Structure 1
């Protein structure tokens, strides 16, 4: 595309936005209506970029432009020199040097190399992605938060999985200091296995660790072959070891029954064996069916069957000590 065509596209887009900015079906895009403007003549197909206009004489044309990546967005001190067009015809105005710096394959070889930089300036490039996916990819490249668009976890996962195709390493882009890390982690309480699988697939350890704390009650027997393959042996092993390690730790801290008190006329050592047997039975059950908040709820009812106040006090003290010990057991991979 020559400079005159590029200027006409930019002028058309800017004027369109100033005249009548309307909301697109997707919250992340704006649609500009131009009732009295004539569409600029699109370049020849060999120029490889501009959208096709069905009727150049139509006076009511809609142009969809990203509300984040638009010509006057001030995302950089320099103006954008590249327009990306998604498969659903949404424009994203970006800076070629920022895109190329983030990619090791010229953004799926869509952006010309530096040797032809003069030819690549002011181009419109078709990107084989839907606008919600491309929007997230560009937010990742620019290190901007896309949380205000409220993307679903499925959309986020798709965008992250597409990063390697564009020469972008997800592991280096999703770190604890990045907005996307925070956004993905916000989905962990409700979809822990999905977030953990995504982190494991791209070896994002800093995301997998906090997510694993939400998998403590996850039934490992429900892991399918597809999930196991997606997670991979490295992170699957870590998850299994987390569960096995906590189970063994629970058995150890449950092993010791409440400490017996000194014999009294109404409660000697023989009577106290009743509590010891009840503790052993409850411990065996807990060791096999441990659930969140289970310790106190399963052991406290034992006091209802005790008539000795000293035995009740010893049981309560043992439960409190048990809860403290359990709270310091490792909760993440």
Structure 2
């Protein structure tokens, strides 16, 4: 399956009424034939369906999805093309159109496409705040880091703070992120979103997430979960998490002596996730390409944007 971008919009087709999930929107693509690589098959299918020509060497992995509809099981290997030659047309009689990413809605697509839509709407970097030595100095530090890095998505993580101080600083962080056009994620229990419902969503550490058997927050807010292995990833899927963090990929100064899982292990875990995965642990902006090639949404962390934290 291919996500073809042009001028900030994505090419979308409508499925014929008589096929499985008929009438819904879809991303172009099809089955891999004998002797083809996934990239070769995608290039061929998109050309046959729309007439667009894509360079297979420029394709980047997005996500792998396995979904059971009850009457049918599907496996979607999704790749992104940032450029394509030609004027698209529905060569199989299907209606096609270019849609902005923010206009993609879950209800318009088959259920298996939900993680693709999440991945397209999420940024490549997930910024996490570092340790807070002096709470009174935190507002200035956050403001400076937001101005310097301009993250699209920011997690206010401060497990060392009391609940009272965290809640107070979270309210201030929300206003600071709004001023910088950043979305703020809170870290902890669902109660936090009741106190600050204007936040973009909640990031639950594993110790918190394992207490729930169903999604603990509304669909309109993002749910993220910290994961480390297959069991935790499966539980995050059960909770219908919108994305997860996975690692540590490399050794980190916050956990001296603890080895990272490495890119090979990360890739194997991410391939089985079925939801967007941020690589976490000892990573820098230069690692974004390696993370993407390993099936990650991008990188998450502290050191690449948070100053004065010792990382």
**Fold in common (TM above 0.5):** no
Shorter-chain TM range is under 0.3
Structure holding more helix per residue: 1
Larger radius of gyration: 1
